[in-house]
Copies of this chain bind each other. A is one copy, B any other.
Amino acid sequence: MLDRKVKIKEIRDLGAGNHLLVITSPEQARLVRPGQFVMLKCVEDTGGNPLLRRPFTIFNIHRNARSGKPAGLELLVKEAGAGTRRLVMARPGQVLDCLGPQGQGFHLPPDLSSRVATACLVAGGVGIAPLLLLAESLLALRIRPILFYGGATAADLVLRESFERLGIDIIYCTEDASHGERGLVTGPLEQFLRIHPRKDTRLYACGPWGMMRGVHELAVGYELQCEVSLEARMGCGLGACLGCVVASEASEGRSYPLVCQDGPVMNSRLVRWDIAPI
């Protein structure tokens, strides 16, 4: 809801194209809810290429070392094309246009623990981004998070320390078995659900479309609720262009909710998984 010029405080190369981008913006940091995102571009690119801002989930709130007060945002940026390349090649001190926090985050009513005991957080690669703030909120609500974190190879499993520090259960898996179990993350998830057939488990997923679809199908199979954090190409990130839709099972007239406004987090049952939005 705020459009601010913000300074880059730090950029940390995490390997495999991933970078942690820390920006200074106390005002925006104070407003963040888990699952929200910002729209970013370098100020000097205005009118140039890339033309449009790019969406990034807020990975963490950066806090003042002494006061502990919100001082900025931590973002996880994976190089995917020209837009992300510009951002990860920027240097500390450089100024970004930053719009946000935008969108609906995860559904976290104060009484959630009366319905949910265990939360399975499922991430693929940079899909990990919304899950740290979510895990912290769940812990605060006294719901037990378990993280299922998959990637093609060990290098894709970034920022593991942040989660390990929370002391939660984590199941890693990689397609090449370089870290954790071999295979897709839906494998261990299904195993877990089979062994713990409890209705007070809830699923939260973020990652590639196919992975989220798999988690959704498990949710349907095990009759569990599931929230997914969606991606779509965005023109504006603020509800104006109608470019970022996802096809939905919902009733007529709302068959194309906006990822930037109605999402990015949505109930997986509202999504039409046969129509990928990218």
Binding site for B on A (CB under 8 A): 47-49
Question: Which residues of the partner chain B approach A48 to less than 8 Å between Cβ atoms?
Answer: 48-49
Closest Cβ of chain B to A9, distance in Å, is 20
Closest Cβ of chain B to A177, distance in Å, is 38
Question: Which residues of the partner chain B approach A49 to less than 8 Å between Cβ atoms?
Answer: 47-49
Q: Which 4 pairs from chain A and chain B are nearest by CB? A: A48-B49, A49-B49, A48-B48, A47-B49
Q: A86's closest neighbor in chain B, by CB?
A: B44
Q: How far is the CA of A49 from the CA of B82 in the complex (A)?
A: 13
Closest Cβ of chain B to A45, distance in Å, is 9
Q: How far is the CA of A124 from the CA of B148 in the complex (A)?
A: 69
Q: How far is the CA of A154 from the CA of B185 in the complex (A)?
A: 69
Closest Cβ of chain B to A52, distance in Å, is 14
Closest Cβ of chain B to A79, distance in Å, is 14
Closest Cβ of chain B to A210, distance in Å, is 32
Q: How far is the CA of A130 from the CA of B48 in the complex (A)?
A: 32
Q: A50's closest neighbor in chain B, by CB?
A: B48
Question: Which residues of the partner chain B approach A47 to less than 8 Å between Cβ atoms?
Answer: 49
Q: A89's closest neighbor in chain B, by CB?
A: B44
Closest Cβ of chain B to A38, distance in Å, is 23
Q: How far is the CA of A49 from the CA of B48 in the complex (A)?
A: 6
Q: A85's closest neighbor in chain B, by CB?
A: B44
Q: A47's closest neighbor in chain B, by CB?
A: B49
Closest Cβ of chain B to A130, distance in Å, is 31
Closest Cβ of chain B to A49, distance in Å, is 4
Could you list some 4 contacts between A and B, CB below 8 A? Answer: A47-B49, A48-B48, A48-B49, A49-B49
Q: A51's closest neighbor in chain B, by CB?
A: B49
Closest Cβ of chain B to A35, distance in Å, is 33
Q: A48's closest neighbor in chain B, by CB?
A: B49
